[in-house]
Structure 1
């Protein structure tokens, strides 16, 4: 899941355009604390990570490794790059930085407006704090 530069590649989808069609009962959520705003969701049958979800977020961050080799959508932006270690040097193949991040948040807001400011809930039967 983690790439050579220490990052994890995600593909973001609006929740209202995402659907779990099979195996919903096999999903398990994990939080780093009881108050953590994020949960990681895995398929319990094979322990495969599926997505990361932010509490109150209208999108899902799907792990790009779910797609067969070469079929995941191409990355458009890097975010949260300020958290990387000083020894991690990013190439210029994918844009990152303040203006790109502002544009990204603008796209998120535009999508949320298009959704009528709704935040669809993804019901997960089992959740644990790790």
Structure 2
């Protein structure tokens, strides 16, 4: 049986259906993820996104395995720069961060892990920890890397092949 998860905004008006296992489940500490999370957290009534280590927890899914099943018209995109091709999609009803829309050439969609109806798949790693502010300690709960590990790229390549072959 294929795993299915649901990502739901805080008030329940927006839902994403996630089919199968994620490509990877991680916490990203890059400067863009920190800035994007702070931008969304500053919206009125927005749920917290950043964890104690200034990281943003995500599940990365193949694009063909993420479908908005409820409230698509409520999704609003936020960009760090006006010319950015990356949009952080927020449920405008309750300012819940839902997913990140990346440039169309990329084949994966980061979904904010905190929006997953429990139980969510376990986190596997922390990446880009070199961007963590000096005053913040990176939690020792997961393997952490200063950059992006080979395992991350291997999983993305495997997902691209599976998607191309429609597996």
Q: What is the CA RMSD across the aligned residues, in angstroms?
A: 2.2
For the structure 1 residues 100 and 30, does the alpha-carbon distance in structure 2 shift closer, same or farther, using more than 3 Å as the test?
A: closer
Moved over 3 A (4+): none
Q: Whole-Å Cα distance in 2 between the matches of residues 100 and 15 of structure 1?
A: 21
Deviation at 1:98, TM superposition (A): 6.4
Contact 2:100–2:109 (Cα < 8 Å) also in 1: yes
What TM-score do you get using the length of structure 2 for normalisation? 0.62
Partner of 2:109: 60
What TM-score do you get using the length of structure 1 for normalisation? 0.77
Tell me which of the two structures has the higher relative contact order, counting C-alpha pairs closer than 8 angstroms and 6 or more residues apart.
1
Tell me whether 1:83 sits opposite 2:131 in the alignment: yes
Deviations 1:33-63 (A, max 9, x none): 2222321001112221101222132111111
Total equivalences in the alignment: 116
Contact 2:129–2:147 (Cα < 8 Å) also in 1: no
